[in-house]
Amino acid sequence: MNYKETLNSGLKRGYEVILESEELNKNIEAKIEEVKKTIKMDGFRPGKVPTNIIVQKHGEAINSEVLNKMVNENVSKIIQEKNHRPVSQPKVDFKDSSKDKEKKDQKVFNVEFELFPEIKLVDFAKIEVESCKVKLEKKDVDKRLDLIAKNQRTFKEEKDVYESKKEDSVLLDYEGTIDGKNFDGGKAEGQTIIIGSGQYLKDLEEGLIGVKKGDNKKIKVKFPENYNQKDLQNAEAVFDCNVKKVSSPQESKVNDEFAKSVGAIDLKDLKSKVESQMQKEYDDLSKSLDKKNLFEKLQDAHKFELPENLIETEYNGLKEKYLHSEQPASDGHKKEIKDHKLSSENEKKFKEDANSRIQLGLILQEIGKVNSIQVTGDEMNKALYEYASNFRGQEQKVIDYYKNNQEATLQFQAPLYENKIVDFILSKVKLKTKELDVDSFIKVYNSVDFALDKPKSTKATKKKTKKTASKKK
DSSP 201-231: -HHHHHHTTT--TT-EEEEEEE--TT-SSGG
Query: Is 195 in contact with 165 (CB distance < 8 Å)?
Result: yes
Q: Decide if 133 is inside a domain.
A: no
What CA–CA distance (Å, rounded) separates 290 from 426?
A: 8
Mean pLDDT of all residues in 449-459: 48
pLDDT value of position 132 = 93
CA distance 158 to 243: 13
Among 215, 231, 249, residue at a domain's last position: 249
- Average confidence (pLDDT) over 281-288: 94
Are 281 and 422 members of one domain? yes
Based on the fold, state whether residues 231 and 281 are members of the same structural domain.
no
- Is 471 inside any structural domain? no
Give yes or no: residues 321 and 391 share one domain: yes
pTM: predicted TM-score of the whole model, two decimal places = 0.75
Residue 107's pLDDT is: 87
Domain count, the chain: 3
Same domain flag for 211 and 312: no
160: Cα separation from own chain's centroid: 51
pLDDT at residue 461, rounded to an integer: 53
- The CATH number assigned to the domain holding 423 equals 1.10.3120.10
Maximal CA-CA distance, the chain: 105
* DSSP-based three-state secondary structure for 218: strand
pLDDT at residue number 347: 85
State the Cα–Cα distance between residues 299 and 361, nearest whole angstrom.
10
Query: Which position has the higher pLDDT, 119 or 466?
Result: 119
Q: Is the pLDDT of residue 76 over 60?
A: yes
Helix, coil or strand: residue 239: strand
Percent residues over pLDDT 90 in the chain: 72
Does any domain span residue 143? no
Residue 336 parent element (H or E) = helix 331-339
Burial of 469 (0-12, 13-18, 19+ CB in 10 A): exposed
Per-residue pLDDT, 456: 33
Q: Looking at the domain assignment, is residue 451 inside a domain?
A: no
pLDDT above 60: residue 82: yes
Per-residue pLDDT band at 104 (split at 50, 70, 90)? low
Domain that holds residue 226: 154-249
Region for residue 340 given its phi and psi (left: phi exceeds 0; alpha: psi -120 to 50; beta: otherwise): left
Per-residue pLDDT tens digits for 382-424: 999 999 999 999 999 999 999 999 999 999 999 999 999 999 9
Q: Cβ distance 417 to 379 under 8 Å?
A: no
Q: Which residues pair with 18 in a beta bridge?
A: 2, 108
- At 433, is the secondary structure helix, strand, or coil? strand
Q: Say how far apart CA 297 and CA 447 lie, in whole Å.
A: 18
Q: How far apart are CA 195 and CA 181, in angstroms?
A: 26
Distance CA 297, CA 7 (A): 34
Could you give the CA distance from residue 12 to residue 112 in angstroms, rounded to a whole number?
Answer: 7
Question: Do 274 and 423 belong to one domain?
Answer: yes
- Domain end marker among 249, 270, 297: 249
